[in-house]
A and B are shown apart, each in its own frame.
Chain A
Amino acid sequence: MGSVAYSHQALAIANLTMADSLTASRWADLDRLLLRPGNLVGPGFEPGPELLDSLQNDLRVLVIGAGGLGCELLKDLALSGFGHIDVIDMDTIDVSNLNRQFLFRMQDVGKPKAEVAAQRVMQRVKGVTVVPHFCRIEEKDVSFYQDFQIIVLGLDSLEARSYINSVVCGFLEYEEDGSPNLATLKPLVDGGTEGFKGHARVIFPGITPCFHCSLWLFPPQVTFPLCTLAETPRSPAHCIEYAHLIQWGQERQGESFDADNPEHMKWIYDQAVKRGEQYNISGITYSLTQGVVKNIVPAIASTNAIVAATCALETLKIATMCSTGMDVYMQYTGTEGIYMRTVPHDKDPNCIMCSPGVPVEVDNTITLQKFLDQLLKDSRFKLKLSKPSVSYHDHNLYMQAPPVLEEMTRPNLQQSLLDLMDGNTVGVLNINDRRLTGVLRVRVTFKEGLDSIDMDTVGGG
């Protein structure tokens, strides 16, 4: 690992000196757009050499994921003039990556993706610095993400997307008038693929819908009822899932199943075949076993290239405004002809991630303590709150920690919330909780006679 880190540094230094010797003609194709005025451009576009200069020297872009999309994104961004790119990925290289993750070779198998990818891009594209981070996204402090102007996602998991979404929505602050504070807005560009299909989207939290606003875009995963697996298996997948979800726990107690352990996978396969024989079910293969157990998504080079380049181009547009941006969400289908169309989705005005405030109605006599109780019972915040702290504008109304602040703010708990909010019958409270990645904004409206309402139905779910 030490030598990899060293060679990164050496490359970065070598790249800097090389960059000095570059002539303007290297970016001739890009410069047509960056130096010339246009009719179809983004708001506030100001052509000039400063744009390329800022791409190369000032802007910092983070690519999350160094897999199929990530490899393409790093290449695309480096060849779109971006000079400072970071990449974060926790995975190591597997043989099955090589049909599309073109920055990796057979001899790289087992090495960290982020490090190999960064090195290859720096070797090939002189002048660019790519800093790898071989870790989970959650391992980084939230402030790490604050350092980048744009974050580009090349991920295959909904959970990771939701996490980053909550991070950038947490950065977002709103003005008094309810408009987002543009200085706190951090754009996300996201891509995803499956076989011949994919999507690319841009998210300006507070302005365009965030992930949470449009979670419905992601179809639920197929799961089989346990009774089917146990009692009436009918398909190869049923036999495989029985071995995986039920038999393993029964017969190999105490061992945790590891899908990357070939012996484990072989065991599942063997059990599934036996079960298939018992029930007269044929068609169970090792490949299918892996597919079902690991929930493998088919992936090809061309779709990754198309979706990643679409994302990188939108990143360039956000950074320079050199052309019109996509209308929020691009759907790509390559199976029957080609469809590439954009769909303007709507923002959820009550989104708990990106809205100026989730509406909560309270009785106008409520105390801060009762208000906290009400929040904890609200189904919309289920699993999101445990020990909430509350502030109003810059005033801490109640802080769970540190102890000295907790003690100072504790008397507020018995005070009227309306009084604490200076008598304003509508206002936004900021809720912090260790379970939240960012801040939860709650728009409180005081009403008369709400006291007797059953707490479970407050807010309407």
Chain B
Amino acid sequence: MAQRNHKYDRQLRIWGEHGQTALERARVCVLNCGPSGSEALKNLVLGGIGSFTVVDASKVTESDLGNNFLVEWENLGQSKAKSVCALLQELNESVGAKFVEESPEALLESNPAFFAQFTLVIATQMTEAALLKLEEICRQQKVMLVIARSYGLAGLVRLSIGEHDVIESKPDSKVEDLRLHKPWPELQSYVNEFDIDTPDNNLHKHIPFAVLLIKISEEWKKAHDGKLPPNVRLFKEAISARRRVEEEEDNYTEALKNAYIVLFPPQINSQLHAVLDDKAADVDASSSDFWVMVAALKLFMANEGQGDPPLDGAIPDMHSFTDYYIKLQMIYQARAEADLIAMEGHVARILKRIGRESSPIPRSTLKLFCKNARNLKVLRCKRLGEEFSPRSGPELQRLLAVEESSHPALYVLLRAVDHFSATYNRFPGVFDREMEEDVSRLKALAVGLLNDMGGGGASLPEDIISEVCRFGAGEMHCVASIVGGIASQECIKLLTGQFTPIQGVFIYNAMSATSLVLNL
């Protein structure tokens, strides 16, 4: 255990012990183990997933030795799945390793039940027809699906999951939830103990900024018919007026920096609104713990919370004396604890109502939920069939009309090469002698595809069409490493239930080192 924690130290600092445990429970399947599949798995094996299975029917050839680090010279002519599996196992002995020497396409036909054993399937370098079948199977068996494709200097990553609930979305920027605009009685009586006009300069500069902001805004309200300052500038002026200029007062600096929190406390964001309004929040016996907690959250917000979700209880550092700060911290923690208890009551009553008293929700789960309630997210991926339908047309047309529209054009072309391969039994640009014809063939197919999607009339840049032919379906190691890397990152988000996965089709342009997520 000690060595495990030491080995995973740098990632435990990101997703924590519970995130790591979730990874260790995951059973991951990779379809096709060229460089994209191998690199995606490499990152997951290093991170310590529970087990993996590699599915690939091909033998190691010389071109594999030029683009895949997980095959060896000695493997030439042998099963690629077996070779990759063995070298992956070397990276982390605690991960279970298996391989199946069969083509994914054949497996889809012969043994669809095969996929049910996995938590997550990564489909690499597969064409449209097979992906449609695979998605159907994965949806039925509730297996998460990640699609990854490297094609010359372009790449695509897409997720397909019925529903993915995120409690710990860990947004990059978070507005502190301090409730300074409506202090509850315990906080209010703490604030009342302070005299912010104290003649003692040393005391004056050690009053926590939360106290300053509450006091000064109360004074303002008294003088202005109970109204808060109309803007941050006036509020800041009122704060600055109390500052003792001869003293270096860090607490006032912090108060000025945080003045906006009083006037603009955190709102219920659109994603949380969507979660609260979701039909699944009308829970019944079949509902998941997540939705039971959402139902409880709605009740909490309508009652105890007075419109707000439970307090998370964390406060930022505030320049002050230790005991002032610790006491304030305890007041926030006590309120968070009270909110948690109220939530527990709602959850218990809901479970009783839906006849699920026998399987309660662990307190630790509910606590995590309460702490992160403001940033809950639910993702539902469209089906491939829907993405390919004319419903995507208007958005695709809009995207293609944007100048420098390389990403939507690459999206269309990455689909068109699959149609090309279905028509001509090979990818465009594979033979030098047919390059020119392939450019016009690919263009015709792409235009047809655009029409089918309801995006007719939009134009595709000629130079990108010819570059895609130039790629000749090559799988370059660096591009595969990026696409595989991104696929593995999305797997980690899905498996840990932390951070926000991509919502749409991720298109990578290696020519410019840029990407775009198309919301199709």
**Residues of chain A at the chain B interface (Cβ within 8 Å):** 18, 22-23, 25-30, 32-33, 36-40, 72, 75-76, 79-81, 95-96, 98-100, 102, 105-106, 124-126, 195-196, 200, 225, 228, 232-235, 279-281, 287, 290-291, 296-303, 305-306, 308-310, 312-314, 316, 323-324, 326-327, 330, 333-342
Residues of B within 8 A of A300 (CB): 10-11, 14, 43, 47, 489, 492
Residues of B within 8 A of A36 (CB): 432, 435, 470, 472
Contact of B478 among A26, A95, A312 (CB under 8 A): A312
* Contact yes or no, A32 B206, CB < 8 A: no
Residues of A within 8 A of B481 (CB): 72, 75-76, 305-306, 308-309, 312
Contact of B66 among A28, A302, A308 (CB under 8 A): A28
Besides A25-B62, A76-B478, A305-B484, 6 more A-B contacts (Cβ < 8 Å) are: A99-B47, A280-B326, A291-B13, A302-B489, A337-B506, A340-B515
Some 10 contacts from A to B, beta carbons below 8 A apart, are A28-B66, A29-B475, A39-B463, A75-B481, A79-B69, A98-B92, A102-B46, A200-B513, A313-B476, A335-B499
CB neighbors of A among B151-204 (8 A): 152-153, 169-172
* Contact yes or no, B482 A40, CB < 8 A: no
Residues of A within 8 A of B11 (CB): 99, 298-300
- How distant is A161 from chain B, measured CB to nearest CB, in Å? 19
Contact of A28 among B13, B432, B474, B485 (CB under 8 A): B474
Residues of B within 8 A of A106 (CB): 93
> Given A28-B66, A79-B69, A235-B317, are A96 and B153 neighbors across the interface (CB < 8 Å)?
no
* Contact yes or no, B479 A124, CB < 8 A: no
Look across to chain A and name the residue whose beta carbon is closest to the beta carbon of B430. A32
Contact with A along B293-332 (1 / 0, CB 8 A): 0000000000000000000000001111111011000000
State which of B1-9, B137-145, B284-292, B392-400 sits at the interface with chain A: B1-9
Residues of B within 8 A of A234 (CB): 317-318, 320, 322, 325-326
Contact of B467 among A38, A96, A287, A309 (CB under 8 A): A38
Residues of A within 8 A of B470 (CB): 32-33, 36-38
Contact with A along B32-50 (1 / 0, CB 8 A): 0001000100110011100
CA distance A79 to B482 in the complex (A): 14
* Contact yes or no, B66 A26, CB < 8 A: yes
Contact with A along B395-412 (1 / 0, CB 8 A): 000000000000000000
* Contact yes or no, A323 B7, CB < 8 A: no
* Contact yes or no, B320 A232, CB < 8 A: yes
Contact of B62 among A22, A195, A280 (CB under 8 A): A22
- How distant is B450 from chain A, measured CB to nearest CB, in Å? 21
CA distance A287 to B9 in the complex (A): 8
Residues of B within 8 A of A313 (CB): 476, 478-479, 482, 510, 513
CA distance A81 to B66 in the complex (A): 8
Contact with A along B466-507 (1 / 0, CB 8 A): 110011101111110110111011001000000111111010
Look across to chain B and name the residue whose beta carbon is closest to the beta carbon of A234. B325
> Given A99-B10, A280-B322, A302-B485, are A40 and B479 neighbors across the interface (CB < 8 Å)?
no
Whether B26 is near chain A, meaning CB under 8 Å from some CB there, is no
Contact of B7 among A79, A95, A335, A340 (CB under 8 A): A95
Whether B116 is near chain A, meaning CB under 8 Å from some CB there, is no
- How distant is A326 from chain B, measured CB to nearest CB, in Å? 4
* Contact yes or no, B474 A29, CB < 8 A: yes
CA distance A290 to B39 in the complex (A): 31
Look across to chain B and name the residue whose beta carbon is closest to the beta carbon of A98. B7
* Contact yes or no, A196 B474, CB < 8 A: no
Contact with A along B409-423 (1 / 0, CB 8 A): 000000000000000
CA distance A51 to B1 in the complex (A): 50
Residues of A within 8 A of B3 (CB): 95
CA distance A306 to B297 in the complex (A): 38
* Contact yes or no, A102 B510, CB < 8 A: no
Whether B90 is near chain A, meaning CB under 8 Å from some CB there, is yes
- How distant is B142 from chain A, measured CB to nearest CB, in Å? 23
CA distance A145 to B471 in the complex (A): 34
* Contact yes or no, B39 A305, CB < 8 A: yes
* Contact yes or no, A26 B65, CB < 8 A: yes
Contact of B69 among A124, A298, A334, A336 (CB under 8 A): A124
Residue from the set B5, B69, B250 with the largest chain A CB neighbour count within 10 Å: B69
> Given A30-B474, A80-B477, A336-B172, are A309 and B482 neighbors across the interface (CB < 8 Å)?
yes
Residues of A within 8 A of B510 (CB): 313, 323
Residues of A within 8 A of B152 (CB): 32-33
CA distance A329 to B514 in the complex (A): 10
- How distant is A406 from chain B, measured CB to nearest CB, in Å? 50
Whether B61 is near chain A, meaning CB under 8 Å from some CB there, is yes
Residues of B within 8 A of A228 (CB): 319
Contact with A along B66-87 (1 / 0, CB 8 A): 1111001100000000000000
CA distance A339 to B12 in the complex (A): 23
Contact of A29 among B8, B63, B92, B515 (CB under 8 A): B63
Whether B91 is near chain A, meaning CB under 8 Å from some CB there, is yes
- How distant is B494 from chain A, measured CB to nearest CB, in Å? 13
CA distance A228 to B479 in the complex (A): 49
Residues of B within 8 A of A338 (CB): 486, 489, 502, 506, 515, 517
CA distance A443 to B171 in the complex (A): 48
- How distant is B273 from chain A, measured CB to nearest CB, in Å? 17
CA distance A297 to B13 in the complex (A): 9
Residues of B within 8 A of A314 (CB): 513
Residues of A within 8 A of B321 (CB): 232
Residues of A within 8 A of B67 (CB): 29-30, 79
Residues of A within 8 A of B479 (CB): 309, 313
Whether B234 is near chain A, meaning CB under 8 Å from some CB there, is no
CA distance A339 to B486 in the complex (A): 11
Residue from the set A23, A81, A102, A342 with the largest chain B CB neighbour count within 10 Å: A102
- How distant is A48 from chain B, measured CB to nearest CB, in Å? 13
- How distant is B340 from chain A, measured CB to nearest CB, in Å? 18
* Contact yes or no, A306 B500, CB < 8 A: no
Residues of A within 8 A of B464 (CB): 40
4 closest A-B pairs (Cβ-Cβ)? A29-B474, A305-B485, A309-B481, A326-B513
- How distant is A85 from chain B, measured CB to nearest CB, in Å? 14
Contact of A124 among B35, B72, B250 (CB under 8 A): B72
> Given A124-B69, A305-B485, A340-B514, are A316 and B318 neighbors across the interface (CB < 8 Å)?
no
* Contact yes or no, A126 B73, CB < 8 A: yes
CA distance A428 to B466 in the complex (A): 47
CA distance A38 to B467 in the complex (A): 6
* Contact yes or no, B512 A326, CB < 8 A: yes
CA distance A196 to B492 in the complex (A): 11
- How distant is B110 from chain A, measured CB to nearest CB, in Å? 30
- How distant is B426 from chain A, measured CB to nearest CB, in Å? 14
Look across to chain B and name the residue whose beta carbon is closest to the beta carbon of A31. B474
Contact of B10 among A33, A280, A299, A337 (CB under 8 A): A299
- How distant is A328 from chain B, measured CB to nearest CB, in Å? 10
- How distant is A230 from chain B, measured CB to nearest CB, in Å? 11
